[in-house]
Structure 1
Amino acid sequence: MKREVLGLADLKELQRELNLRRRLEEERLERIAAARRLADQERRIFELTIGPVTPLPDAKRYEHLIEPPSPEPRQREADERAVLLQALSDDFDVETLLETDETLSFRRPEISIEVVRKLRRGHWALQAQLDLHGLRRDQAREALGHFIHESKRRGLRCVRVVHGKGHGSPGREPVLKSRVRRWLVQKVEVLAFVQARASDGGAGALMVLLA
């Protein structure tokens, strides 16, 4: 289950989509006009080459102009697929490369400890959420990668990832909790994360700050 809070970033994304649709429509109309101009030029060249001609009687035929196909952003789509397929290792050792504390907070070396404090206090408004409850490990890893990529693409800064507390897992161990931390650390879009406040999910969720 995903819950999103509409904000300025969502409005900007909607405006970009509307601008893109309008630009594509303008390009389509321009291609049609260009095809008509080309047909007129070819007709004129034919007349100049052959000489005077007598038009055939109007048979009420309709001329179908062939519209060139719309360009497809295949390279961009390939790049996005490559990002989504980027491997997130379950064996990534967080402790050897990055510092974490007992509350599962994390920050990149260039991020100050004050940023972590602000994230923990709820300084940034929550803009989107991903709930991983009920997902198997591979499903959760793919969903998390897609969620982070899409959130970054949309310009979101603060999101929440709910991994659960493990009460429904064998042995009541939080299976996804440690894995989500490893996966997030491997995502370059992630600047920092902290364990959520009790009102936001507590030990069952992480507040994530994106670049």
Structure 2
Amino acid sequence: MATDDLDDFLQEMADVKPLQHNEVEPETSEFKPTLAQLARREAAEQAMEYDANYLSMEYVDLLKPDDVVDYKKDGVQEGVYRNLRLGKYQLDATLNMLGKSLVEARKHLFDFIQDCHQRGIRTLLIHHGMGRNSKPHPAILKSYCAKWLSQIPEVLACHTAQRHHGGYAACYVLLQKNQQQKRDNRERHSKRHQP
């Protein structure tokens, strides 16, 4: 450094006083994200974990424990629906949701229906319970089960079971044919109509 530069520097620094202490104290408060930041983080994490389960956990019309669950898509023949209601079809699979939380029940029901449809199982029995003592409302699981079944495209119809299959605590479910069953059915009908 040139002497003139050093003199200028010392002149400029003449009124500067040294610090009283030379230790840096760490900040005592940690960075804490706001509630909005936490909500955005959670939403981003959930978006990354894609959930194919589209069953809604939103508002549900509450049923009473002894209300009948009944749903039928347009196009389902009355005779088919009557046989389902009367429990005349062989039950090929059963799902017991008793004692499950709504979150668990939603997952189990969705996975069960998808698996049964893929395997070509058509008639199911779902045990949802009556929920007489469920909190915060009676029949909450039964109510959501009825709502969810009507949201699943593969479900053609459902109805409260006969007493010997669980009565108001269970329901029958009829699934549509899977793609392989539809192909087989078309082939069978085309052979029938050939000369």
How far is the alpha carbon of 1:210 from its aligned partner? Answer: 0.4
1:33-57 CA-to-partner distances (Å, cap 9, x unmatched) read xxxxxxxxxxxxxxxxxxxxxxxxx
Q: Does 2:52 align with 1:85?
A: yes
Structure 1, unmatched stretches of 5+, are 1-80, 95-101
Whether the aligned pair in 1 keeps the contact of 2:89 and 2:123 (CA below 8 Å) is yes
Matches within 5 A, 1:8-27: none
Q: For 2:146, which of 176, 181, 186 is the aligned residue?
A: 181
Name the aligned partner's letter for residue 102 of structure 2. R
> CA-atom RMSD, angstroms?
2.3
Q: Which has the higher helix share?
A: 1
Partner of 2:43: none
1:104 to partner: Cα distance: 2.0
Contact residue 129 and residue 161 of structure 1 kept, 8 A: yes
Q: Which amino acid aligns with 2:55?
A: L
Q: Which runs of 5+ in 2 are unaligned?
A: 1-48, 62-66, 177-195
My pick for the range that moved more, 171-180 or 112-121, is: 171-180
* 8 Å contact kept, 1:90–1:182: no
The amino acid that maps onto 1:117 is: R
CA deviation vs aligned residue, 1:176-211 (integer Å, no higher than 9, x gap): 011001111111110000000011001011100000
Check conservation: 2:60, 2:143, Cα contact below 8 A.
no
- CA gap 1:92/1:172 in 2 versus in 1, 3 angstroms: closer
1:160 equivalent in structure 2: 125
Cα 1:170–1:210 change in 2 (3 A) is same
For normalisation by structure 1, the TM-score amounts to 0.54
1:84-163 matches, cutoff 5 A: 85-91=52-58, 103-163=68-128
Distance 1:137 1:85 in 2: 17
Give % identity: 33
- Normalised by the length of structure 2, the TM-score is 0.58
Rg larger for: 2
Task: Flag as ranges the 4+ runs of structure 1 deviating above 4 A.
Answer: none
Conservation of the 8 A alpha-carbon contact between 1:93 and 1:182: yes
Q: Supply the distance in 2 between the matched residues of 1:93 and 1:163 (Cα, whole angstroms).
A: 15
Whether the aligned pair in 1 keeps the contact of 2:53 and 2:107 (CA below 8 Å) is no
**Cα distance per residue 1:94-149 (max 9 Å; x no partner):** 8xxxxxxx632111011122221110122210011111111111110000000000
What is aligned with 1:202?
167
